[in-house]
Amino acid sequence: NAGVTQTPKFRVLKTGQSMTLLCAQDMNHEYMYWYRQDPGMGLRLIHYSVGEGTTAKGEVPDGYNVSRLKKQNFLLGLESAAPSQTSVYFCASSYTGSTEAFFGQGTRLTVV
């Protein structure tokens, strides 16, 4: 049982480049989330999804887009990367909106 899998684990981008982070879960969870983790700031929610085909903005959505075409996958896109998007990104999923979340291993992104 893989749980929540994120790819890639590391990436270095140049300013202005684009990329997509993939999150896959095999627990049949309805809810999926993308967070960024920055030192001293805890986790901040970027976007989330409450089911296949739905997405919603979180606390810090600017500069990011997401898609949930399949229930098991939640993609996070950066259309034009900026140095301020250097961070560790975590994907999570949960069965409902009020139950515990299961996290992926994280993606360390550096934008130079």
Partner 1 sequence: AQSVSQHNHHVILSEAASLELGCNYSYGGTVNLFWYVQYPGQHLQLLLKYFSGDPLVKGIKGFEAEFIKSKFSFNLRKPSVQWSDTAEYFCAVIRDSNYQLIWGAGTKLIIKP
Judged by beta carbon, residue 59 or residue 79, the one nearer partner 1 is 59
Inter-residue contact 44 to 36 (CB < 8 Å): yes
Q: Which stretch binds partner 1 (CB under 8 A): 10-18, 20-28, 40-48, 73-81?
A: 40-48
Question: Which of 22, 52, 58, 95 is in the footprint of partner 1 by CB under 8 A?
Answer: 58
Q: Which stretch binds partner 1 (CB under 8 A): 14-22, 62-70, 73-81, 92-100?
A: 92-100
For 78, the token pair is 């950066």
Can residue 40 be called a binding residue for partner 1 (CB under 8 A)?
yes
Rounded Cα gap, residues 73 and 52, in angstroms? 9
Question: Which of 55, 104, 109, 111 is in the footprint of partner 1 by CB under 8 A?
Answer: 104
Count of chain residues binding partner 1 (CB under 8 A): 24
Q: What stretches of the chain adopt beta strand conformation (E)?
A: 4-7, 10-13, 19-25, 31-37, 43-49, 56-57, 65-67, 73-78, 87-94, 102-103, 107-111
Q: Enumerate residues 6+ apart whose C-beta is below 8 A from 53.
A: 68, 69
Taking the complex as a whole, the smallest distance from the CB of residue 65 to partner 1 amounts, in Å, to 19
- Nearest CA-CA partner of 7 in 18, 24, 22: 22
Can residue 90 be called a binding residue for partner 1 (CB under 8 A)?
yes
The residue ranges that bind partner 1 (CB under 8 A) are: 31, 33, 40-45, 48, 50, 58-59, 90, 92, 97-106
